[in-house]
């Protein structure tokens, strides 16, 4: 497959992960002692910071995004098995997996296109 397919997969997974994290941190989380805005900033902030570079197709952004998504993958695994909201954990796990695979395969396709 070409890099365009992997790019769409990476961006789609990243946006899906952003939506799951924002919904979870902003509206679906149990009311706690931290303000909702702080939870949104900590949860969705890193994903928002890397999104412009990822949308422009920058190679460094692809690498950073794939490494960043691993933290959300880990959080999804923990929540899917031990957390009170199993479904949200599985959604986060699925979105992080798609985003990671898309970024990794996009980077690989871009590197092989640059060599050719």
* pLDDT tens, residue by residue, 34-89: 888 888 899 999 999 999 999 999 999 999 999 999 999 999 999 999 877 788 99
How many residues make up the chain in this entry? Answer: 116
pLDDT score of 53 = 95
Place of tokens 């970024």: 103
pLDDT score of 3 = 82
Q: What is the Cα–Cα distance from 59 to 57, expressed in whole angstroms?
A: 6
pLDDT score of 54 = 94
Q: What is the Cα–Cα distance from 87 to 13, expressed in whole angstroms?
A: 17
Residue 30 Ramachandran class (φ > 0 left, ψ -120 to 50 alpha, else beta) = beta
The overall average pLDDT reported for the chain is: 91
């Amino acid at each position: 497959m070409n890099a365009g397919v992997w790019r769409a997969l990476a961006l789609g997974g990243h946006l899906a992960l952003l939506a799951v994290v924002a919904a979870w941190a902003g509206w679906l989380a149990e009311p706690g002692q931290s303000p909702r805005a702080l939870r949104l900033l900590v949860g969705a902030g890193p994903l928002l910071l890397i999104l412009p570079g990822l949308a422009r197709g920058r190679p460094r952004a692809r690498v950073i995004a794939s490494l960043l998504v691993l933290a959300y993958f880990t959080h999804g695994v923990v929540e899917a098995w031990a957390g009170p909201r199993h479904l949200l954990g599985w959604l986060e796990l699925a979105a992080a997996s798609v985003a990671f695979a898309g970024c990794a395969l996009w980077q690989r396709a871009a590197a092989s296109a640059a060599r050719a």
